[in-house]
Structure 1
């Protein structure tokens, strides 16, 4: 596996207690998603994951807001004893080529971002913070939807 490929995870990465938030596609969506995830992690005994989760969910919700025409952005959080998985779903409707670059293949996105660029590093940041992350389509049940998810967890104790 290369660094340019999202790390695979079990087929259903959203195991544990499940929480959902549906937001209108507005400029305040990322802030609301951050606050939602912060609250959940605070009460679920994962305070050490809050900072990384806030950064990652902000990046994914901001991408959905800036690069799609979706009316709603959905945030699905699954929390268990060891980890938290957050999935951000949009209804598609890419807004020009910028959306394809932002949510397209990770390798292409990384290659397209130069050191002088102010934007375009969100998924690189998610990759550096998350144990795993990936994308999937909504499939036959939800055609046009895009899901981008990440998993954060407590470090495993070393024997």
Structure 2
């Protein structure tokens, strides 16, 4: 079982912010994933592209599969230190779990939040005033350890 950081995550100071909104439809998963990947490339963060794509896909897919929200919004804040991605829906309702348990190997789904937890520096699911939910995660580039000769 993995426990997440339960603090609410506000946009980082001195960040560049971007927003994407799409219908709650299957194609929005790919559009959001590719959009976030383009942002990582444009900001010179090629090492974050794959993690950003995977985590965004999983968060948007959860909204698509498990809500009747009309739209899915993705907000991204980029600073020198990290990237913060928020995936929001406009449907009040049951929150996704914030404490993770193992998923049986035979089960086809249910690993989305586990994948986000594995790749993100921090993440959480928060209820926003009873009218929407947000799954957020932050990513940082790990500095490589120098190779000793």
Calculate the TM-score normalised by the size of structure 2.
0.87
Select the structure that is richer in strand.
Answer: 2
Cα contact 1:22–1:72 (8 A) shared by 2: yes
- Structure 1 unaligned blocks of 5 or more: 95-99
1:62 is matched with 61
2:142 is matched with 155
- Structure 2 unaligned blocks of 5 or more: none
Cα contact 1:76–1:88 (8 A) shared by 2: yes
Select the structure that is richer in helix.
Answer: 1
Instruction: List aligned pairs for 1:1-159, cutoff 5 A.
Output: 4-8=2-6, 11-15=9-13, 16-92=15-91, 100=94, 103-107=95-99, 110-111=101-102, 113-139=103-129, 143-156=130-143
Deviations along 1:105-150, one digit per CA (max 9) or x if unpaired, are 233x525x322101000100100000000111112xxx32000000
Distance 1:68 1:11 in 2: 22
Equivalent residue of 1:118, what SS? coil
Runs of 4+ residues over 4 Å off in structure 1: 8-11, 156-159
- Aligned residues: CA RMSD: 2.1
Distance 1:11 1:130 in 2: 13
Further displaced range: 148-157 or 27-36: 148-157
Calculate the TM-score normalised by the size of structure 1.
0.82
Aligned length: 145
Equivalent residue of 1:135, what SS? strand
Distance 2:3 2:46 in 1: 29
Deviations along 1:72-100, one digit per CA (max 9) or x if unpaired, are 00000000112111000001255xxxxx5
